[in-house]
Structure 1
Amino acid sequence: MPADAPDSSLEISPEISYVITQHNKAAFLPLLVEAFAREGGDFTREYVFVDDGSSDESVAVLKGLAARLPGPLRLIEQENGGASAATNNGVLAARARLVRLVDGDDLVTPGSTAQLREAMRTAGVEFAYGDLGKYAFDQPFAEPAPDFPAPVPLRDGAGLARFIRNCPVNSSAILMTADLYRRCGGCNETLVSPDYLLFLRAFAEGDGVHLPAPVARIPTEAPGRLSGQQRRSRYESVLALIILLEEQPALPRSLAVQAYRRALSRSYNYARLFGAKGLKNPMLWPYAFSKLSAPAQPLPAMRRALAAYTEDGRIERPTAWLPGAARRGVARTRIG
């Protein structure tokens, strides 16, 4: 349910809505809010926090910090459904044309949102992302403010090709229009992590721009952080490529082949990393074939590659890998 911002601060629509998802982040919230207070930028803003069923003191801590934010706090509390559902709900509640996504333990860097917005304006696109740095919990602001070099436009499929190859950042690097978020489908709530598929969907929708400087910093250690759940996260990275091809049947053949080869390469290397060497690696021959050729319909081979990540060798996801919204049968695969 939306929470308690003064009516006077909501009379004028903000220029940028920050959408922050949190689950049991009470220890990080003072750092997060302090980073927002230090960020600067000549624009009006609001902070839409989505608490994803926290069992700690996150909500109380956040309310106690509200006065430190440089814009009104709007709080949505939901039953635990996962970061993807929380992100969708936050964006749907946002009032601004532009949305900046932030994870509850990441710290925005000074000037970053203004720089992302300017990069979007000069490139004439609806989507910008930057790089990520790191911070230590006991010295969160030790790093100097970043220098921002010239942004790099990514046009004609270049952004999609880059992210098919690898997803080097998370959603805290993103500034996009709320309209693009809805058009591309937003987050798939059957996935625990919102990041990879959201980047793929955004770049499948059109051009973007990259700001090659840290626009947020992630903690060097954060218990339970999604990117640390390796087997599930690697499974989802291949599943995201599968969903991309399912949603984009008219994708250029070169990009479809790249996605196919990346899925099989990733699965072969994962199986090898965890002890399946040589001929014992079940992905050896599919991977070798992918280096030589690509089937007209790559999806069946990509789906079979999911078996490399599960304990029992099945392609179906274990129930334990499903977020709360999917377990309850209320997950949306896309919005808009």
Structure 2
Amino acid sequence: MPGQPEISFVIPVYNKADILPHSLAALAAQRLEVAAEYIFVDDASQDGSADILQAGAGALPMATILRNDSNAGPSRRLNQGVAQARGRCLCLIDADELIAPDAAMTMLRLMQQHQADMVHGKVKHSDQAATDLQPPAIGAAPAFAVSDRPLATILNGRGFVRMAWLVETTLFRAAGGCDERLFIQDEALPLRLALKARRLIDLQASVTWAPRAASHLSADKRQQHHDRFFAYYNLLHDAEALVPQDRRRIATICASIIWKAARRSGLQINGVAALAVYLAGKSGLDIPPRHLDHAAAAFRGMPGIRRSLD
């Protein structure tokens, strides 16, 4: 049996047959100096993605393909893949993006040099089709920032919702993994990780590249507003040790999402009142918990929303 890998790549897959050959090729081109395993979790794809994975996995060492008969969403499928992972670190990327050839090693070196337990890189959108896209190397001296307050950095930053992570496996498990109450993990996972993390590195370099015409579940604005709201709302209720500054920030973000959902997604709540509460929060006033609870009930009543536990 092969030795324990240092990095476990865990990648959920749903209907990505058109780009999978290219994302697999980019994974095979990784300039790794450590042992790695590759865990693909097919979420009941209908386009032959699982067969493409089976045919292409031979180019990758220690590759595992997990097939499922029902579509449960990336939150549950990421947890399913991590449950099988043996690596000390997890590299979490999307199946429809191409990883830069030195991405994993760059993130690993930064993690080791700065005693961090989570590293996030950037996703670069390209106008090129996957057939023409060749992600360039990050290089030896990328810009980055180190934070000893990971949750505050996530709450006050931008761009952390894309799947371009290297995290310690112990951190992922201590955080409880993805919130399976939500179909899409994009917003909730960084919050849950940051709540338990010691140190975050914000890598200002393109770790993965998204080719033209790549599709994303989060393009559905109604689903996006629903999952964004509950990512923060659930954190308020789940985390007992939030400092007051972070708690106020999270509540204000919730209020912003409520107002936007009332305007753009048909959330059944008074939009004028929602705007007033949001502006009050922006000015430093506390958001009334009853406002958030009322909105939570309205979000739960939205039709057509996918939930991982449905």
* TM value normalised by structure 2: 0.89
Given residue 286 of structure 1, which amino acid in structure 2 is its aligned partner?
A: V
Name 2:137's counterpart in structure 1.
145
Give yes or no for contact 1:17–1:98 (8 Å, CA) kept in 2.
yes
Give yes or no for contact 1:19–1:47 (8 Å, CA) kept in 2.
yes
* Equivalent residue in structure 1 for 2:278, among 276, 283, 287: 287
Name 1:321's counterpart in structure 2.
305
Give yes or no for contact 2:160–2:190 (8 Å, CA) kept in 1.
no
* Equivalent residue in structure 2 for 1:219, among 208, 211, 214: 211
* Equivalent residue in structure 1 for 2:64, among 42, 49, 74: 74
Deviation at 1:300, TM superposition (A): 3.0
Cα distance in 2 for partners of 1:246, 1:16 equals: 33
Name 2:171's counterpart in structure 1.
180
Name 2:125's counterpart in structure 1.
134
Name the SS of the counterpart of 1:48 in structure 2.
strand
Cα distance in 2 for partners of 1:247, 1:104 equals: 30
Distance 1:256 1:298, change over 3 A: farther
Cα distance in 1 for partners of 2:188, 2:158 equals: 9
Q: Structure 2 matches for 1:88-99, cutoff 5 A?
A: 88-99=79-90
Given residue 63 of structure 2, which amino acid in structure 1 is its aligned partner?
A: L
Deviation at 1:189, TM superposition (A): 1.3
Name 2:147's counterpart in structure 1.
154
Cα distance in 2 for partners of 1:292, 1:146 equals: 40
- Provide, for residues 307-327 of structure 1, a one-character-per-residue CA deviation record: whole Å limited to 9, x for no partner: 7xxxxxx2315353123x411
Distance 1:145 1:92, change over 3 A: same
Cα distance in 1 for partners of 2:32, 2:83 equals: 24
Name 1:332's counterpart in structure 2.
none
Deviation at 1:171, TM superposition (A): 5.1
Cα distance in 1 for partners of 2:184, 2:266 equals: 26
Deviation at 1:88, TM superposition (A): 0.2
Name the SS of the counterpart of 1:17 in structure 2.
strand
Stretches of 4+ aligned residues off by more than 4 angstroms:
272-276
* Equivalent residue in structure 2 for 1:257, among 245, 248, 255: 248
Cα distance in 2 for partners of 1:15, 1:260 equals: 38
Cα distance in 1 for partners of 2:153, 2:254 equals: 14
- Provide, for residues 44-93 of structure 1, a one-character-per-residue CA deviation record: whole Å limited to 9, x for no partner: 11111111111221111111112222x22111112321111100010010
Cα distance in 1 for partners of 2:271, 2:143 equals: 48
Deviation at 1:248, TM superposition (A): 1.3
Name the SS of the counterpart of 2:228 in structure 1.
helix
Where does structure 2 lack aligned partners over 5 or more consecutive residues?
none
Give yes or no for contact 2:38–2:62 (8 Å, CA) kept in 1.
yes
Q: Structure 2 matches for 1:1-336, cutoff 5 A?
A: 10-69=1-60, 71-78=61-68, 79-135=70-126, 136-147=128-139, 148-155=141-148, 157=149, 159-165=150-156, 167-170=158-161, 172-206=163-197, 207-223=199-215, 225-272=216-263, 281-295=272-286, 298-306=288-296, 314-318=298-302, 320-323=304-307, 325-327=308-310
Give yes or no for contact 2:79–2:178 (8 Å, CA) kept in 1.
yes
Cα distance in 1 for partners of 2:85, 2:271 equals: 51
Given residue 146 of structure 2, which amino acid in structure 1 is its aligned partner?
A: P
- Provide, for residues 218-239 of structure 1, a one-character-per-residue CA deviation record: whole Å limited to 9, x for no partner: 234234x112011211221121
Give yes or no for contact 1:18–1:45 (8 Å, CA) kept in 2.
yes
Name the SS of the counterpart of 1:315 in structure 2.
helix
Deviation at 1:107, TM superposition (A): 1.3
Where does structure 1 lack aligned partners over 5 or more consecutive residues?
1-9, 308-313, 328-336
Deviation at 1:280, TM superposition (A): 5.8
Cα distance in 2 for partners of 1:64, 1:247 equals: 42
Cα distance in 1 for partners of 2:169, 2:301 equals: 31
Query: What count of residue pairs does the alignment treat as equivalent?
Result: 304
Cα distance in 2 for partners of 1:130, 1:258 equals: 24
Cα distance in 1 for partners of 2:288, 2:164 equals: 31
Name the SS of the counterpart of 1:67 in structure 2.
helix
Deviation at 1:202, TM superposition (A): 0.9
Give yes or no for contact 1:18–1:99 (8 Å, CA) kept in 2.
yes
Cα distance in 2 for partners of 1:275, 1:171 equals: 26
Distance 1:245 1:280, change over 3 A: closer
Distance 1:125 1:93, change over 3 A: same
Cα distance in 2 for partners of 1:283, 1:201 equals: 26
* TM value normalised by structure 1: 0.83
Given residue 322 of structure 1, which amino acid in structure 2 is its aligned partner?
A: R
RMSD: 2.4
Cα distance in 2 for partners of 1:140, 1:262 equals: 39
Give yes or no for contact 2:130–2:211 (8 Å, CA) kept in 1.
no
